Chains A and B, each alone.
Chain A
Amino acid sequence: MLIDTAADFDVRDYLRKEMMPHFLCPGCGHGIALRALLWAIHDLGLDKDRLAVVSGIGCAGRLSAYIDANTFHVTHGRPLAYATGLALARPDLHVVVITGDGDCLAIGGNHLIHACRRNLKLTCLMLNNEVYGMTGGQVSPTTSETRLTTTTPLGNQEPHFDACALATAAGAGFVGREVTHHVPKLKELIKAGLEHPGFAFVEVQSDCTEIFGRKNDMGSSSEMIMRQKSEIRPSAYLDTVDTPFRSNALPTGILARNDRPEYGATYRRAAAARKGAS
């Protein structure tokens, strides 16, 4: 059952209420994604004191400020780097990274591929709203072709990145995608990511209504959410490496999974062996 814990989960138990209401625009999908993350945490019964949320810069980056847990708001593009240090030093913590599409794929693109390669136990939640919302709506690596942004007045001519294909190719232990429209499914996906023993990359298709939707005439926030429904193609497995540039249909669900050795454990074993030898 996807919704069995819906009754006893009150998102306000996990928020810094003094910070609310949050700064996000009306109808922004990031709030929905944040709820799904907190619900997954509630479902797993994780202790808030054992939870560390690291986030970078951008609309998605601000979300860590609203979570009643150990939170880090760090430099642009580097949340994965900070989180790597944190997770290595404190393997007892559950480290979650919240990052946006620009933060994760452009400014922090290198950190992402190497975090995937290392396969350190982390959960990276990338909220993809296809635009740099906070700075005024510039084109981002995931902006779909022909979309209008402040820096692409003729419509975006660059092919966009499929972040899940990138993470899969770079060797991430767990790769999944879901849309904010399906909250219980998103919660289950994040839960599976949190439970995965290695690096878990979860892309959340979110909506920027005020900056991106308005400019592209995509209607109100509810219309944008309904649009997600027509664009998704749920699949248990889909070879994102063979078809890295998605067509109109958006595959969702768990897209890739492997059981490569987790970096933290490997590292600690090597360190212990060295200590024993000397």
Chain B
Amino acid sequence: MRDPVTTVRPDPASPDSPALKADRADDAFNVLIVGVGGQGVIMVSKVLALLAQSQGFEVKQSEVHGMAKRGGSVFSHVRFGKRVWSPTIPKGDVDILVALEWAEGLRWLPFLKAGTGIFICDTKRIVPPFACLNRRPGAPLRYSKETPTEVVTHVGEAYAIDATDMAEKLGNERAANVVLLGALSTALEFSTTDWERTVAEFVPKKTVAVNLEAFRRGRGWIEEARNTTPAVEAPVTRTPTPADAAYRVRLEINPVWCKSCDICVKMCPEHCLRLNADRIAELAEPERCTGCRLCEWLCPDFAIRVHLDSAGAVAQQGLAQ
């Protein structure tokens, strides 16, 4: 599920803006890029690092990927300046936090420099499997409940972009990271030509056009957002309740055909079946059943049939009773 509306808290660019700091101070300029494996976190950080290097800065980049390659948490530190000593950014020292996924952005928010840090985040939600422990339809997710509006009020300058949606509209969802790169580019003092040259060098030849367009859209979005002063209020994300479920699960077990082989009981991922006193399968914990149909499929005796009754049918049954 994704928040379609974006939220902005623009802060007029001032001489104290961190964007100018890299040039003048001895301190390194710190960008932290975070997201979920497969989104292109490393790509964004490498483009930034290459660009900074080509501008004559000393660059240190450090990342965690490996096992997180598909679906895990990924982060990449990029530091550049006249002199960079450590490759990692201390907590609370991040000048710009770029998040490719909403919850990952929130996870790393404490690293952002209080007051002056810029937070650029995609509102894309990638719900990890362990946030779906209760797999019943409509069950609440253990996912961040904060809305973009709530979050940006706590951060000096924050942009919540639906970059994935923008990239999708361009025809390639995977270009979302470049949309965010475009957004990031507005906070740094490198020329657009240099940015676009580095992006074009880095992406596969076939996707140069779509990536450059994604870059410009991201950049354009932030520039437009800076000029639109009143913040766009995002709708409050409602947590789904069981009543919202599109269907209810009902198990039909034929006791005459059941041969007590135990397969359904042992194979059920939710452990919600058992053999009763007559050693016939029965649904012991109906509230845990998700309707995955594994028991129906693996029953060699065709004794189980899973019905997913639509919510409307359930309501009608209630009335009839």
Contacts and interface: CB of A to CB of B under 8 A. Distances in A.
Contacts of A24: 300-301
Given A20-B257, A222-B266, A29 B293 contact: no
B302 interface: yes
A30 B265 CA distance: 19
B315 interface: no
A62 interface: no
Interface string A19-31: 0111011111111
Size category of the binding interface on chain B = 20 to 34
Interface stretch (A6-14, A71-79, A104-112, A169-177): A6-14
A27 B261 contact: yes
B297 A35 contact: yes
B267 A32 contact: no
Interface string B69-112: 00000000000000000000000000000000000000000000
A252 interface: no
Given A220-B266, A222-B266, A12 B261 contact: no
B308 interface: yes
A15 B302 contact: yes
Contacts of B308: 7
A98 B181 CA distance: 58
A180 B300 CA distance: 10
A209 interface: yes
A277 interface: no
A20 B300 CA distance: 12
Contacts, number: 66
Contacts of B259: 21, 25-27
A32 B298 contact: yes
Nearest to B294: A183
Contacts of B213: none
A183 B302 contact: no
Interface string A209-221: 1000000000011
A31 B299 contact: yes
Interface in A129-151: none
B301 A21 contact: yes
A21 B262 contact: no
Contact of A225 (B260, B267, B302): B267
A179 B311 CA distance: 35
A20 B302 contact: yes
A159 to B, nearest CB: 30
A225 B299 CA distance: 12
Contact of B267 (A15, A21, A184, A222): A222
B274 interface: no
A55 to B, nearest CB: 17
B293 A28 contact: no
B245 interface: no
Contacts of B266: 220, 222-223
Contacts of A25: 259
Interface in B280-301: 293, 297-301
Contacts of A154: none
B256 interface: yes
B292 to A, nearest CB: 9
A26 B260 contact: yes
A3 interface: yes
A225 B263 contact: yes
B263 to A, nearest CB: 5
Nearest to A29: B300
27 contacts: A6-B293, A10-B305, A20-B302, A21-B259, A21-B301, A26-B262, A26-B301, A27-B259, A27-B263, A31-B299, A31-B301, A32-B297, A32-B298, A35-B302, A180-B298, A181-B298, A183-B297, A183-B298, A184-B297, A220-B262, A221-B261, A222-B263, A222-B265, A222-B266, A222-B267, A225-B267, A226-B267
- Closest 3 CB pairs between A and B? A31-B300, A222-B266, A27-B261
Given A7-B308, A10-B305, A20-B257, 15 more contacts: A12-B302, A21-B303, A24-B301, A26-B300, A26-B301, A27-B263, A31-B299, A31-B302, A32-B299, A35-B302, A220-B262, A221-B261, A221-B263, A223-B266, A226-B267
Interface of A: 3, 6-7, 10-12, 15, 20-22, 24-32, 35, 180-181, 183-184, 209, 220-223, 225-226
